A and B are shown apart, each in its own frame.
Chain A
Amino acid sequence: AQKVTQAQTEISVVEKEDVTLDCVYETRDTTYYLFWYKQPPSGELVFLIRRNSFDEQNEISGRYSWNFQKSTSSFNFTITASQVVDSAVYFCALRGYTNTPLVFGKGTRLSVIA
């Protein structure tokens, strides 16, 4: 069975601080895919990134970076120099190789205070 755990329910930071959102996953598949989605107050889930299990290279995109570590089954997300517009609920998700549905964590609500 696939499972995603986001232990942080809510995080508040002051603008310009760096913040890391944790994600731990469980799967028996040797090939799988990890995702991060952002859900702003409007409600629409917005895709941020996908990583394949065989590619552990970390990725940076502007102020966003992702740290994938298979050894600890973690796929953490860091926002550098946070901004008020980053305030949203962030979901980590997992999909197995065998066309299983996307499984989401419970999300982390990030509040960036000006």
Chain B
Amino acid sequence: DTGVSQDPRHKITKRGQNVTFRCDPISEHNRLYWYRQTLGQGPEFLTYFQNEAQLEKSRLLSDRFSAERPKGSFSTLEIQRTEQGDSAMYLCASSPPRQGNTGELFFGEGSRLTVL
């Protein structure tokens, strides 16, 4: 399968623990996006990368959140000291260079976080 891959698909953790999600974009897609989706809501933008550069961060991304894309391929999203309000589906998407500004995003199946 050559789509966007996310791991783990589901993570259950206790409040205060750290969690990390990984996203592998479609090969040769230079743009990678992280979104968060809570129940009954649409996806909300968190951050995006063009190659290894993090170009934009949402105000939703508190200092407990950090995202990296060290070699311009896969990306990780880490949440430190998780809170119950962090429970959500974390979606990763990618797009190729030509479609970066106008085209669609290709989404993965998401990583669902449950904070107890």
Q: Which of A42, A47, A97 has the most CB of B within 10 A?
A: A47
A44 to B85: give the CA distance in the assembly, Å. Answer: 22
- Cβ of A43: which chain B residues have Cβ within 8 Å of it? 89, 109-110
CB of B41 within 8 A of CB of A106, answer yes
The B contact surface, by secondary structure, is loop
A45 to B105: give the CA distance in the assembly, Å. Answer: 9
A43 to B6: give the CA distance in the assembly, Å. Answer: 12
CB of A45 within 8 A of CB of B43, answer yes
CB of B110 within 8 A of CB of A101, answer no
CB interface residues, A 41-89, toward B, < 8 Å:
42-47, 50, 52
A101 to B56: give the CA distance in the assembly, Å. Answer: 9
A9 to B91: give the CA distance in the assembly, Å. Answer: 21
A102 to B45: give the CA distance in the assembly, Å. Answer: 7
A 24-53 to B, binary, CB cutoff 8 A, 1 in contact else 0:
000000000101010000111111001010
Query: A45-B91, A91-B43, A107-B40 given. 18 additional CB < 8 A pairs?
Result: A4-B42, A35-B104, A43-B89, A44-B109, A45-B105, A47-B104, A47-B106, A50-B103, A95-B101, A99-B101, A101-B56, A101-B58, A102-B105, A103-B45, A104-B42, A104-B44, A106-B41, A107-B42
Q: Which residues of A contact B (CB under 8 A)?
A: 4, 9, 33, 35, 37, 42-47, 50, 52, 91, 93, 95, 97, 99, 101-107
Q: List 5 contacting pairs A-B, 8 Å CB cutoff, sorted by A.
A: A43-B109, A45-B91, A45-B105, A101-B58, A102-B45
Would you list the 8 A-B pairs with minimal beta carbon distance, nearest first? A104-B42, A101-B45, A47-B104, A45-B107, A44-B109, A106-B42, A104-B43, A43-B110
